[in-house]
């Protein structure tokens, strides 16, 4: 059985492992640097990136994670995982937390606001649909979600989101800062840069396995002919 590592310090790692299982792939919980040597692709889940970073530091995971990314092995960060992979993080409560980096972008933490401003929306993801088929849109679950504000030339934008002005929470409370936030009409919420995939939302919390299948194909964990499923999952 094919195996994929899932960073299991905190957050929604169990949900990723369950989604992988639905595709016939075993998700292995990763907590120690040496365990990264045993896998060829890795998912960094959503959760709380400051807590996750503290735990990663405690377990001395940062050098091994950076090496893993730099080796060109497929890595997918969802939500807090995206923050981990970004070269630069900005926004609320970003207190110089350590990042793995590798993804040439600036991510804004908690861009859409706090927990009660979490939301779900239908996202157009043309590249995902062209590779995986299925419905034209993907249900994006945004929980205290970050957004990508700018990307480097190597980064392919897979999905963006038109931001209603009442959803925008600028970390800059100056009049100028708020004005800029209101003028911002679209933010980036899914990207790919070579071996790195990153989504601001949580595909593992839906019954739609197309993002997992897309990621597994990046690392040849499953073949191009494999198909994803969009079946209701019984939560036990």
Question: Which residues ranging from 65 to 84 are in contact with ligand GLN (CB under 6 A)?
Answer: 79-80, 83
Q: How far apart are CA 134 and CA 176, in angstroms?
A: 43
> Phi/psi at 106 (nearest 5 deg)?
-110, 125
Q: Please pick, among 15, 108, 132, 204, the residue that the annotation labels catalytic.
A: 204
Q: Please pick, among 16, 108, 202, 212, the residue that the annotation labels catalytic.
A: 202
Helices (H), the chain: 13-22, 49-58, 62-70, 80-85, 126-132, 175-183, 210-218
Interaction of residue 210 with ligand GLN, rule CB under 6 A: no
Tokens of 101: 């980096």
204 is catalytic: yes
> Phi/psi at 146 (nearest 5 deg)?
-85, 170
Q: Please pick, among 16, 79, 105, 132, the residue that the annotation labels catalytic.
A: 79
Region binding ligand GLN by CB under 6 A among candidate stretches 31-39, 43-51, 184-192, 214-222: 43-51
Region binding ligand GLN by CB under 6 A among candidate stretches 45-53, 62-70, 151-159, 180-188: 45-53
Within 13 A of 163's CA, how many CA atoms are on the CB side? 27
C-alpha Rg value of the chain to the nearest Å: 17
Interaction of residue 47 with ligand GLN, rule CB under 6 A: yes
Just list the catalytic residues: 79, 202, 204
Residues at the site binding ligand GLN, with contacts judged by CB under 6 A = 46-49, 79-80, 83, 109-110, 143-144
């Amino acid at each position: 059985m094919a195996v994929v590592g899932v960073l299991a310090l905190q957050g929604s790692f169990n949900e990723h492992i369950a989604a992988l299982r639905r595709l016939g792939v075993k998700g292995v919980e990763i907590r120690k640097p040496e365990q990264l040597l045993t896998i060829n692709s890795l998912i960094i889940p959503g959760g709380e990136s400051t807590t996750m970073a503290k735990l990663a530091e405690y377990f001395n995971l940062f050098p091994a994670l950076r090496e893993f990314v730099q080796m060109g092995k497929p890595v997918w960060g969802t939500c807090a995982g995206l923050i981990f992979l970004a070269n630069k993080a900005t926004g609320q409560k970003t207190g110089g937390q350590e990042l793995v980096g590798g993804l040439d972008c600036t991510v804004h933490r908690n861009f859409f606001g706090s927990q009660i401003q979490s939301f779900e929306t239908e996202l157009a993801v043309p590249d995902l649909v062209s590779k995986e088929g299925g419905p034209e849109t993907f249900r994006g679950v945004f929980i205290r979600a970050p957004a990508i504000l700018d990307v480097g030339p190597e980064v392919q934008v897979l999905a963006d989101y038109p931001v209603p002005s009442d959803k925008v929470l600028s970390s800059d409370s100056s009049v100028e800062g708020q004005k800029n936030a209101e003028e911002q009409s679209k933010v980036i919420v899914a990207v790919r840069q070579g071996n790195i995939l990153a989504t601001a939302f949580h595909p593992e919390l839906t019954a739609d396995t197309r993002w997992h299948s897309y990621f597994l194909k990046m690392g040849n964990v499953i073949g191009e002919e494999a198909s994803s499923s969009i079946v209701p999952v019984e939560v036990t």
